[in-house]
A and B are shown apart, each in its own frame.
Chain A
Amino acid sequence: MEPIVLNYQVDGEDFSTAGEASSAVKKALKQLGFSPDVIRRVAIAMYEGEINMVIHADGGEATAEISQEEIRIILADRGPGIKDIDLAMQEGYSTAPEEVRNLGFGAGMGLPNIKKYSDELKIESTPGVGTTLRILIRT
């Protein structure tokens, strides 16, 4: 069977809408009847990635490809890119601006959390061009 594809434009202008795409994917996974653990991992990993796109890259495109065996999440933006991926993967390292930190974001746990909750994480990033995260979660 072809995977189910859900596609969302993540708005970078309006911080209050951040998290809507992951919320919609969560709802769909519940309707399909995936286990609470899978739903939880997808929801958290995708949420962290979505928030990152809003904070650092003025939004982008979020896609979820759902099949029985695995769920793939692709988060693609045309933001500034990540200069040093190894450094960005370190817990606590953050380049988030002050105003976002005041909201409780930017603790430097986004990427480490995505890695923690996913089975595979691939980051393709070119400074000045953009970043694409490919997250795989096996069901």
Chain B
Amino acid sequence: MEYFHSVTLDPERCRGCITCVKRCPTEAIRVKDGKATIIKERCIDCGECIRVCPHRAKKAVYDKLSMLDQFEYKVALPAPALFGQYNNLENVDYILNGLLDLGFDDVFEVARAAELVSECTRLKLANEDCPKPLISTACPAVVRLVRVRFPKLIPHLLMVRAPVEIAASIARREAMEATGLPSEKIGVFFISPCPAKVTAVRQPLGTNITDIDGVLAISDVYKPLLNAMNKIQHPKTLSESGLTGISWAYTGGEATSLLRTKYLAADGMENVIKILEEIEDEKLQDLDFVELGACNSGCVGGCLNIENPYIALTRIRQVRKYMPVSNNRIKDYTLSPEEYLCDKPVEYDPVLQLDLDLGRAMQKMQEIQKIEKILPGIDCASCGSPSCHTFAVDVVEGSADISDCLILLKKQLEETKNDECS
């Protein structure tokens, strides 16, 4: 299968430094011929390289606002994180009204569907057969990580469709009913805080269908939306989300919406990997639910946001203040129970395995060990691989040559010089 990724490189800007190579949590980047290249199968779209690149050479691919012109009737699906981007925001209706002024015909908050997913999860957890801990699938980067590195945990994944997918299905249906237009004339646009969600829309978890037509970046919408909001005097009441739905914007929001105490919520790739290891080793068996997010503070930390995650988080706490705990129930919508659930199993993707044949994998590991012995072990990354170990793997896999190691080359040069002198 060909992987689509929303993280790409602008080769003009890339200077071939090793900042992203070193920081990539899945060791998916190499510098080749002076430019960073992403190993597609390994990339989980976490956006860390976009955040750390000093030359802004790493970019996320997403759709542009001009794409709205392709549709007769347009619906915006704002992510909860959008509500943390603006200063002095008293209520989210300013944002929702502003979106209408930008050219959308209707808005449907993703937070509303998040409340429905919370309800589905509560029902699942109440079932005795539910594998525990159940692992959140809200962060696509985490799901991708589980798929490539933690096959044993796949049965623990929450197989409920993502809030944005459910929001899109409801919004499309409502728009068709309200306008009488056919589905293809209705454009449903997600306003996203991160590139992983752009990828997730093109390759949704556990299903082949999506009701989303385009994904816009919060950072792209930010300015025109601010201008539109400044003109609004008396916003219409449009918001229909509750406190728990909006709280999905930050780490712990989804977990607390389950109204249970035995949960764990963590963020940042290093912590995520550590927690997944612990679950794999059966050390966290008394937990009901585990919420994990790749970005610091959760979705408000996504690299397509404008505001610092901690500031955004504080604002969201303000703006959700007088909201009802939950304002959306499954019984209020016409979706069938099946439409909430994933219909396609999530499969292990053994891209980190050395070989699918155990014998050949063992041979490769032995070769890797031999090469590692002669390497300097200083992990300087001058060869373009993040560490001496990954370089040894690359040499065995044939994607690098031992002569790419500058330290070894220097040693050889010195030896030849000494030989000539003596």
Contact = CB atoms under 8 A, between A and B. Distances in A.
Interface stretch (B236-244, B328-336, B349-357): B349-357
Contact of B353 (A26, A32, A36): A32
B352 A31 contact: yes
Interface stretch (B194-202, B219-227, B361-369): B361-369
A34 interface: yes
A30 B352 contact: yes
Given A23-B277, A36-B152, A31 B356 contact: no
**SS class, residues of chain B in contact with chain A:** helix
B253 interface: no
Contacts of B359: 1, 68
Interface in B234-293: 277, 280-282
Contacts of B353: 30-33
B144 interface: no
A33 B356 contact: yes
Contact of B281 (A4, A31, A47, A67): A47
A23 B362 CA distance: 18
Contacts, number: 54
Contacts of B362: 1, 4, 32, 66-68
Interface size classification for chain A: 20 to 34
Contacts of A14: none
B149 A31 contact: no
Contact of B366 (A4, A30, A39, A43): A4
A8 to B, nearest CB: 14
Nearest to B149: A30
B355 A33 contact: yes
Interface of A: 1-2, 4, 23, 26, 28, 30-34, 36, 39-40, 43-44, 47, 66-68
The 9 closest A-B CB pairs, nearest first, are: A36-B152, A32-B361, A33-B353, A31-B354, A33-B361, A4-B365, A33-B358, A68-B358, A43-B281
